[in-house]
Amino acid sequence: QNESDERALIKVDKGISISKDSLFLMNIRFRMQNRFGIRTESGEDLSIEQTDFRVRRLRLRFDGYVLNPRMQYYIQLGFSKADLDLESGGYAQPIRDAMIYYFFDKNFYVGFGQGKLPGNRERVVSSGNLQFADRSIANGVFTLDRDFGFFGYYTLPTKGRANYQLKGAINTGEGRNPSPGDGGLSYTTRFEYLPFGTFLNSGDYSEGDLEFEPRPKLSIGVTYNYNDEAVRARGQLGSSLYEARDLQVYIADAMFKYMGWAVMAEYFKRTTTDPFTHSDAGDIRVVWVGTGNNLHLSRMISRKSEL
Amino acid sequence: QNESDERALIKVDKGISISKDSLFLMNIRFRMQNRFGIRTESGEDLSIEQTDFRVRRLRLRFDGYVLNPRMQYYIQLGFSKADLDLESGGYAQPIRDAMIYYFFDKNFYVGFGQGKLPGNRERVVSSGNLQFADRSIANGVFTLDRDFGFFGYYTLPTKGRANYQLKGAINTGEGRNPSPGDGGLSYTTRFEYLPFGTFLNSGDYSEGDLEFEPRPKLSIGVTYNYNDEAVRARGQLGSSLYEARDLQVYIADAMFKYMGWAVMAEYFKRTTTDPFTHSDAGDIRVVWVGTGNNLHLSRMISRKSEL
Amino acid sequence: QNESDERALIKVDKGISISKDSLFLMNIRFRMQNRFGIRTESGEDLSIEQTDFRVRRLRLRFDGYVLNPRMQYYIQLGFSKADLDLESGGYAQPIRDAMIYYFFDKNFYVGFGQGKLPGNRERVVSSGNLQFADRSIANGVFTLDRDFGFFGYYTLPTKGRANYQLKGAINTGEGRNPSPGDGGLSYTTRFEYLPFGTFLNSGDYSEGDLEFEPRPKLSIGVTYNYNDEAVRARGQLGSSLYEARDLQVYIADAMFKYMGWAVMAEYFKRTTTDPFTHSDAGDIRVVWVGTGNNLHLSRMISRKSEL
């Protein structure tokens, strides 16, 4: 089963998994990604200009349920320098996800805590299911990323094969590990339409058609986010603004898979009334407004190799 | 069994627990507390003035024994922004507890490492056994909190029902994760008297009478702490002082439980000869001296609900 | 079996160990070292001048294999203030080791990630197998410590009892958790010669002859490191230099064990063309060049006591 950042994994194939009389389950897993990059001076002069060797991701993940399989939790800690957000922020922030979910039934569950917003598809795909080592540049600029608050996930019951999903969240609007004391929340709604039914093994949230879908599958998603009195340049991410701004983010994305082919497309737009914020001293900081695109095509040759 | 911060838990009901031929036991547990707070502009204008959404506590706990059940350990790491002490201090401090205990017999054990001092009752109650999300303000101002050093716990053998406990500690006096190089230690002694015998399930160190004590139970405790050459404004906590001061802290507290009723009371006093410390430039920093109180009354309606 | 920092431990005697159909193994272990030090004013005046009480080391270790016992991993996180490198560096760095190894056969394996360089013997001995609480001063000044990159380990197949080992590494040259963007790599080669065969229980990488070698055993090692465009005063460690320098480090060391006696000797030399680096403002920072020695003699009285 694919690892999803929108709920706990109850069955895992790898990692430690311990349960007790259906009262308690804890899975312990980790993910490590080491990076080796090198840039030469030029195509002719192959001496090293720059290197990028480092532990890119090191994550420890706990999930499972307590007392009742309806009450699930999901905790993810990150320990690498990039995970700790040291490069942009000023202090260590090991907590990535800290969510509690309650499942009313298999079609409706709610969450409380810190987790990924129901934003663009590429962001919600777990880093273990990405095809490239990093996400796209457009994702970096426009993604809603993680935030703290309430989350809800609802699958509309239908008789046909088509599948309709509604997701929503109310959050601080300040991203991971916010400080107390901010006014102005963030409101996110997302709608997903899967006209040909659900993907095998949650394939709408993994890159690459690892399952070789025997019949075409499509998922179309649209997200609208309103961030009231945002104080960071990219909403949940970015440096501090001098003044608060109300941001609006529009996202449309789609995933198509068939017989080893996978196409993922995303469109982003962020707007605000006045992107320029001014300090008393006359300095200016800008909200990152504008539009972006991300297109991703892949072909799986066999179950073991990918083009 | 209640989780106590004064020894390792050998039997746990939840969490991963693995032992091997009575030679080794490791329990792994975590605790997560997410917070949702909101303040409106006024009683009439319900628009949001301020919010406090965040992961308040995220703890990972390892305890058990090695080689012999007499040799116990207890490690607790904290990962939330408040746990890391980033809001007051300047750097990340994930270690909360790191203790090794040796049990001579069930009435006498000693500890070495970093852990909670035998100070006021509310502080020693584990955060999982609190009734409110946070401890009292008086606790915040006067508590002895955690420190590094030697700890001893002794229960006087008696024939009657009454129970007498003696606790003591010699520590750095500088609190969690002290730097090497300080002179002046901290000395703590505590005496507890339980005239009607021990509480069910260690209830003298949990809030709320979850056990519905069929007979009245009382515990009275007094603590004296002498912190030689303290360098922080609240002894083990607080900002740096300009000059070292010898602090004295007096604590008296009591817990009473009967048939679902619980009363906890605490009295604090901190003194020093001259609370004002001066820098060469003429600035002043003050030791937090004075007295404080904390009273807590609760009634359990049934085993499942609490008023 | 001794814990080695040069490969994963597949069999452990202590700690949690979980495997599944030879497809997956995860060991979880921790190590805690609490320190108590005190210095009196003088031999006559025994009042306390300085104390050093603290959690010196608190490590969490995960190792094992995935899919196949040839594909091993080894992750070590450190949480104490010294482990996080807060005292010298400016930000928290919990990752100590994050390695993936591939074993071609028992004589040849390669690693990728962050780990200990094949430098001097005392540094590679795991802290759990040291005789003193800390390593030598010479080690602190000259060691190659940890770095990120590629590692290779090869034992030459021979017919006699003598054993020849070849180790090499290509790394960033900037030590633990380097930032991307540096030019100039570090190249390390090490050769070890064990004329009388391998030590019992990997005793060439533990201090103290815990195994009471019935026949004399000797290991001689030499290391050469070339750190191209190093930017720190001790290569992988130390404060930033104003200009990059090419460093060369030469190490020779030996371990001898016989009937409870153990002798470890190390020689170090670091050179560079011009150790002085200048800022534009005229300040100077110096590469730590020079030579150092470290000698260590011990006698085990019985299997349980050590002189």
The pLDDT tens digits of the residues spanning A272-288 come to 999 899 988 888 998 98
Please calculate the CA angle B238-B243-B244 and round it to the nearest 5 degrees. 75
> What pLDDT sits at residue B17?
61
Q: What is the pLDDT of residue A17?
A: 61
**C258 pLDDT more than 50:** yes
pLDDT band at C152 (very low <50, low <70, confident <90, very high): very high
Q: Report the distance separating Cα A258 and Cα A280, nearest Å.
A: 56
**Bigger pLDDT: C230 or B45?**
C230
Quote the pLDDT of residue C1. 47
Structure token pair of residue B248: 């004295």
Taking CB atoms and an 8 Å cutoff, what residues of chain C touch B100?
Answer: 32, 34
Residue A305 has pLDDT above 60, yes or no: no
Amino acid at A18: I
Closest Cα in chain C to B147: C54
In 3D space, the residue among C203, C272, C204, C205 whose CA is nearest the CA of residue C243 turns out to be: C272
Residues A209 and A203 sit within 8 Å (Cβ to Cβ): yes
Beta-strand relationship, A24-40 and A16-20: antiparallel
CA gap B238, C75 in Å, rounded: 35
Q: How many CB pairs under 8 A join A and C?
A: 86
pLDDT of A13 above 60: no
Q: Is residue C59 very low, low, confident or very high in pLDDT (cuts 50, 70, 90)?
A: confident
The mean per-residue pLDDT over the stretch C283-291 comes to 90
State residue C133's pLDDT score: 74
Find out whether B203 and B126 touch, Cβ atoms under 8 Å.
no
pLDDT at position B224, please? 96
pLDDT band at B307 (very low <50, low <70, confident <90, very high): very low
The alpha carbon of residue B49 is apart from the nearest alpha carbon of chain A, in Å, by 5
E-state strands within B23-94? 24-40, 48-66, 68-78
CA A231, chain centre distance (Å)? 21
- Terminal CA-CA length for chain B: 23
The predicted model gives B82-89 an average pLDDT of: 64
pLDDT at B11: 52
Q: Do B34 and A75 touch (CB under 8 A)?
A: no
Contact between C256 and C298 under an 8 Å Cβ cutoff? The reply is: no
Confidence (pLDDT) at B115:
92
CB distance from C73 to chain A under 8 Å? Answer: yes
Selected residue with higher pLDDT from B219 and C208: B219
Does residue A2 or residue A276 have the better pLDDT? Answer: A276
Say if residue C54's pLDDT is above 90: no
Residue A23 CA from chain centroid, whole number? 30
Query: Out of A116-120, B59-63, B196-200, C101-105, which region has the weakest mean confidence (pLDDT)?
Result: B59-63
SS3 C75: strand
With a cut of 90, say whether residue B194 has pLDDT above it. Answer: yes
Taking the CA of residue C181 and the nearest CA in chain A, the distance in Å comes to: 5
Least confident range of A168-172, C51-55, C97-101, C222-226: C51-55
What pLDDT score was predicted for residue B1?
47
| Nearest C-alpha neighbor of C15 from the set B73, B25, B69 | B25
- Residue-wise pLDDT for C86-109, tens only, equals 655 556 788 889 998 999 998 999
Residue C135 has pLDDT above 90, yes or no: no
What's the confidence (pLDDT) of residue A91?
A: 65
Report in angstroms the alpha-carbon separations of C64 from B62, C103, C152.
20, 13, 19
Query: What is the pLDDT confidence band of residue C304, given thresholds at 50, 70 and 90?
Result: low
Is the Cβ pair B98, C55 closer than 8 Å? yes
Decide if pLDDT at C216 tops 90: yes
- pLDDT surpasses 90 at B109: yes
pLDDT of residue C17: 61
Closest-CA distance of chain C to residue B181, Å: 5
From the CA of A36, how many Å to the nearest CA of chain C? 7
Q: Return the higher-pLDDT residue of B250 and B140.
A: B250
The answer to whether residue B305 scores a pLDDT higher than 90 is no
B36 interfacial to chain A (CB closer than 8 Å): yes
pLDDT at position B92 is: 72
B24-33 burial: b if 16+ Cβ within 10 Å, else e: bbbbbbbbbb
Type of residue at C126:
S
**Mean pLDDT over all residues of chain A?**
84
Chain A adjacent subunits, 3+ CB pairs under 8 A: B, C
Q: What are phi and psi of A9, to 5 degrees?
A: -90, 120
- Helix, strand and coil content of chain C, in percent to the nearest 5, comes to 5, 55, 40
Give yes or no for a contact between A167 and A189, defined as CB atoms under 8 angstroms apart. yes
Question: Chain-wide mean pLDDT for chain B?
Answer: 84
- Within 13 A of B70's CA, how many CA atoms are on the CB side? 9
- 8 Å CB contact between C142 and C134: no
| Residue of A291, A287, A250 whose CA lies nearest to A272 | A287
Percent of chain C with pLDDT over 70: 86
- Summarize the confidence of residues C183-200 as an average pLDDT: 92
Q: Which two tokens stand for residue A44?
A: 């002719």
Q: Looking at residue A256, what is its pLDDT?
A: 95
User: Is some CB atom of chain C closer than 8 A to the CB atom of A92?
Assistant: yes
In 3D, which of B53, B234, B220 has the Cα closest to residue B140?
B234
Average pLDDT across chain C, whole number: 84
Check residue C4 and give its pLDDT: 61
Q: What is the token pair recorded at C305?
A: 């006591």
- Dist CA B197 CA B153 (whole Å): 17
Structure confidence at residue C64 (pLDDT): 83
pLDDT of C70 higher than 50:
yes
pLDDT band at residue B181 under the 50/70/90 scheme: low
Angle at A109 between CA A105 and CA A112, to 5 degrees: 150
Highest mean pLDDT among A124-128, B133-137, C32-36, C136-140: C136-140
Give the per-residue SS3 of B253-306. EEEEEECCEEEEEEEEEEECCCCEEECCCCCEEECCCEEEEEEEEEEECCCCCE
Q: Taking 90 as the threshold, does the pLDDT of residue A47 lie above it? A: no
Cα-Cα-Cα-Cα torsion C270, C76, A148, B56, nearest 10 degrees, comes to: -100
The CB density around residue C78, as the number of other CB atoms within 10 Å, is 23
B259-276 pLDDT, tens digit per residue, is 989 999 999 999 999 989
Q: How far apart are CA B112 and CA C34, in angstroms?
A: 8
Contact at 8 Å (CB) between A264 and A122? yes
Q: What is the mean pLDDT of the segment spanning B171-188?
A: 82
| B94: closest chain A residue by CA | A94
CATH of domain A16-299: 2.40.160
Are A171 and A148 within 8 A, CB to CB? yes
Q: Is C86 on the interface with B (CB under 8 A)?
A: yes
Q: Which chain B residues are Cβ-neighbours of C58 within 8 angstroms? A: 75, 95, 98
List, for residues B32-44, the tens digit of each pLDDT value.
887 777 777 777 7
Residues counted in chain A:
307
Q: What CATH architecture is B16-38+48-299?
A: Beta Barrel (2.40)
Question: Is residue C101 within 8 Å of C121, Cβ to Cβ?
Answer: no
Return the H-helix or E-strand segment holding C139: helix C137-142
Average pLDDT over residues B18-34: 71
- The residues in B 135-194 lying below 8 A from C, measured between CB atoms, are 148-150, 171-172, 177-185
Distance (Å) from the alpha carbon of C44 to chain B's nearest alpha carbon:
17
Provide DSSP, C80-122.
STTTTTTTTSSS---EEEEEEEEEEETTEEEEEEEEE-S--HH
pLDDT digits (tens, 9 = 90+) for A63-75: 888 778 888 888 8
Q: What is the pLDDT of residue C150?
A: 92
High-pLDDT (> 90) share of chain B, %: 32
Q: How confident is the model at residue A307 (pLDDT cuts 50, 70, 90)?
A: very low
Amino acid at residue number C60: L
Banded model confidence at residue C307, pLDDT cuts 50, 70, 90: very low
